[in-house]
C-alpha cells in the first residue's frame, strides 16, 4: 500500500539540495594589510584592520612597529548624527585622543594633538554634505612602548614625551582616515602623514597639498629638510590604506 508522509511538505522527486560556497575566512586573513619591515629606524611594519567594532559607524585598528617604537591604536567613528540647536550649513567634527591603561600622556598633550588632528580633518571631510550633523571620533592608545633605552641623563621628560607623540601622529591620521572610509563618510582624499626628526607633515592629493604641520618643542631643523622624508612615508601609508579598503570591499562582496 502506498502511504504518503503528511507530516512534512515534500519537494519534487528530482529536487537537489542547495550548495553554498565556503565563506569561512581565516581570522589571520580577515582584514589586515601588512607592510614588510625595513632595516632602518623609520621602516615601520604596519598592520591595518577595519570594521571590527559593531556598535559604531566605522572603526579601524593600526598596529605599528619599528626599531625604536611599537604602538597600537583603535579609532571609532560615530555619526554623522543630528545635533540639536540652531541650524548649521555643514557638519562638525570632534576628535578625542585617549590614553590606554598605561596613562602615558597627560591631558594637555592629548588635547593639543586632538586639536591638530581636528584641523586636518576639518579640511579633509566634505562637511557640506552633512548639515546640522556631528561626527565624533575617538582614538584610543591601546599600547605604546619605546623600544629604545631610557632617555640619557639630563634630557627632560617633556622633550622625550613630545618626540614619542610625534611618532604617534601619522598613525592616528591613518587610523582616522580608515575609520571614516569604513563609516562611509565622504572625504576629499585619503589623508596621511609622515614623521621625520620630530616633524610631522600631513598630505593629500599624492603629496601635492599639505594640510597640517607639527613640530616638536625645541625642534630647530629646517622644515623643508623633513618634507621629502615625510612625503615618502605618506605615500607608503596611503598605498597601504587603499589596499586595506580594497581587501575589505572584496571580502564584503564575496560574503554577501
Question: For residue 183, what are the domain limits?
Answer: 35-255
Statement: residue 27 has pLDDT above 60:
no
Hey, what long-range contacts does 150-159 have (CB within 8 A, 24 or more apart)? 158/217, 159/216, 159/217, 159/218
> Does some domain include residue 44?
yes
The H helix count followed by the E strand count for the chain is 3, 9
| C-alpha–C-alpha distance, residues 193 and 202, integer Å | 4
| C-alpha–C-alpha distance, residues 194 and 253, integer Å | 32
Lowest mean pLDDT among 28-37, 137-146, 160-169: 28-37
Cβ atoms of 131 and 89 closer than 8 Å: yes
Radius of gyration of the chain (CA): 23
Which tens digit of pLDDT belongs to each residue from 219-256? 777 788 899 999 999 999 999 999 999 998 888 777 76
Q: Is the dihedral of CA 47, 49, 55, 57 positive or negative?
A: positive
> Does some domain include residue 54?
yes
Domain count, the chain: 1
CA dihedral 199, 200, 206, 207 (to 10 degrees): -40
Bridge-based pairing state of the strands 33-34 and 45-50: antiparallel
> Does some domain include residue 28?
no
Which tens digit of pLDDT belongs to each residue from 174-220? 999 999 999 999 999 999 999 988 899 999 999 999 999 998 776 77
Cell of 33: 594589510
% residues pLDDT > 90 (the chain): 53
> Does some domain include residue 15?
no
CATH of residue 74's domain is 3.30.230.70
> Does some domain include residue 248?
yes
Bridge-based pairing state of the strands 133-146 and 69-82: antiparallel
Q: What pTM, to 2 d.p., does this model score?
A: 0.79
Among 134, 124, 68, residue whose Cα is nearest residue 96: 134
> Does some domain include residue 17?
no
Q: Judge if the upstream peptide bond of residue 80 is cis by omega within 30 degrees of 0.
A: yes
Among 194, 229, 197, 228, residue whose Cα is nearest residue 212: 194
> Does some domain include residue 8?
no
Amino acid at each position: 500500500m502506498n502511504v504518503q508522509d503528511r507530516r512534512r511538505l515534500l519537494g519534487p522527486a528530482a529536487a537537489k539540495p542547495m550548495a553554498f560556497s565556503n565563506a569561512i575566512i581565516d581570522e589571520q586573513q580577515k582584514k589586515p594589510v601588512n607592510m614588510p619591515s625595513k632595516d632602518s629606524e623609520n621602516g615601520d611594519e604596519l598592520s591595518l584592520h577595519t570594521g571590527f567594532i559593531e556598535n559604531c559607524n566605522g572603526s579601524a585598528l593600526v598596529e605599528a612597529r619599528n626599531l625604536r617604537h611599537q604602538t597600537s591604536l583603535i579609532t571609532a567613528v560615530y555619526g554623522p548624527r543630528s545635533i540639536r540647536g540652531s541650524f548649521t550649513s555643514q557638519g562638525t567634527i570632534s576628535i578625542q585622543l585617549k590614553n590606554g591603561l598605561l596613562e602615558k600622556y597627560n591631558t594637555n598633550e592629548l588635547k593639543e594633538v586632538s586639536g591638530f588632528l581636528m584641523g586636518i580633518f576639518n579640511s579633509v571631510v566634505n562637511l557640506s554634505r552633512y548639515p546640522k550633523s556631528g561626527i565624533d571620533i575617538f582614538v584610543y592608545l591601546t599600547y605604546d612602548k619605546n623600544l629604545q633605552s631610557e632617555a640619557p641623563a639630563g634630557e627632560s621628560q617633556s622633550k622625550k614625551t613630545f618626540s614619542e607623540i610625534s611618532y604617534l601622529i601619522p598613525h592616528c591620521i591613518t587610523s582616522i582616515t580608515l575609520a571614516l572610509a569604513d563609516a562611509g563618510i565622504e572625504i576629499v582624499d585619503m589623508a596621511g602623514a609622515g614623521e621625520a626628526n620630530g616633524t610631522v607633515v600631513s598630505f593629500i592629493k599624492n603629496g601635492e597639498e599639505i594640510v597640517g604641520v607639527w613640530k616638536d618643542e625645541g625642534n630647530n631643523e629646517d622644515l623643508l629638510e623633513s618634507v621629502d622624508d615625510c612625503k615618502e612615508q605618506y605615500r607608503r601609508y596611503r598605498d597601504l590604506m587603499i589596499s586595506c579598503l580594497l581587501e575589505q570591499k572584496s571580502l564584503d562582496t564575496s560574503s554577501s
